[in-house]
Structure 1
Amino acid sequence: MSFSHLVLRYAAFAVLATLVNLATQRGVLAFGAGPAGYALALVAGTGTGLVTKYWLDKHWIFFDRDRSLGGHSRKFTLYTVMGLATTAIFWGLETAFWLAWQTDAMREAGGVLGLTIGYGVKYNLDRRFVFTDARPVAAPAG
């Protein structure tokens, strides 16, 4: 797979996981707003986005063929740990946008920006620490 094809595929999967995340948040927020509803929406959205992105990355970015329960459990755990720092980027920007503008549109804009930055960082972490036995196309030198 060419580098440009890999970037486009990864970006498409990031968009899909972002949409899953934000749709989950909207669904949760429909049942209640306020600080507790917001916190629950962040956690639920992050969870659904995480599972979606892991499955897509495992199969279509890193082409990981390990089907063992132990291998899958280890990789999902590492994938989740690598996501902690990037989740902080996402939550921080989404919350900052909400606090600054207090509108759903700006909250979601902050979320999209945070997820975009976070996914860029996460790809490199996953490539180096999670899917070590599967090597996708590397970025061109220069």
Structure 2
Amino acid sequence: MAIAVRYAAFAAVATALNLGAQGVLLAFYDGPYRLSAALVLGTGVGLVAKYILDKYWIFADPSEGLANHARAFSLYTVMGLATTAVFWGTELLFDRLFGGHWTLVGGAIGLVIGYTVKYQLDRSFVFRRTV
């Protein structure tokens, strides 16, 4: 399977996990900072899942050991800060403009944009392998 197809499939899986976690929280929690809590939860779930998928099946990173994983995950997270800002900004914009289910539609659009940029960042700075 071509890397682009695999990456798109894994991005779809991470997006589903992210938005699913948000949806669950939004369905059951109606307290203060509801959307902020959903964004943080979804981002955490998606981040961990996508890191594992990318490390092993996109970039085939052979490094092992706690120090190597900590370095790679830290860099992976840092590379995701700007793309997370795009994702959160798009979701919050859709929430502000349209509300309801459109909030998560905005999140999905933001994630597509973010993952497109993040691949290049991860390839260049995190895993440093030519794919």
Partner of 2:121: 125
For the pair 1:19 / 2:38, whether they are aligned, the reply is no
Mapped to 1, the partners of 2:80 and 2:125 lie a distance apart of 12
- Quote the Cα distance in structure 1 between the aligned partners of 2:41 and 2:88: 12
CA distance in 2, matches of 1:130, 1:38: 30
Give the TM-score normalised by the residue count of structure 2.
0.96
1:35: Cα distance to partner? 5.0
Q: Flag structure 1 segments of 5+ consecutive residues without an equivalent.
A: 137-142
Structure 1 residue 82 displacement after superposition: 0.4
How many residues in Structure 1 have an aligned counterpart in Structure 2?
131
Q: Does 1:84 align with 2:81?
A: yes
Aligned-pair CA distance for 1:31: 2.3
* Residue 140 of structure 1: aligned partner: none
Does the C-alpha gap of structure 1 residues 35 and 88 become closer, same or farther in structure 2, counting only changes over 3 Å?
farther
What TM-score, normalized by structure 1, do the two folds share? 0.88
Output the CA distance in 2 between the equivalents of 1:29 and 1:103: 11
4+ residue segments displaced more than 6 Å: none
More contact order relative to length (CA 8 Å, sep ≥ 6): 1
1:13-51 Cα offsets, whole Å, 9 max, x none, are: 000000000110011112223551111110000000000
Q: 2:105 aligns with which of 102, 109, 131?
A: 109
Letter of the structure 2 residue corresponding to residue 36 of structure 1: Y
Deviations 1:52-107 (A, max 9, x none): 00000000000001111111100000000000000000000011011101112x11
Q: Which runs of 5+ in 2 are unaligned?
A: none
* Greater radius of gyration (CA): 1
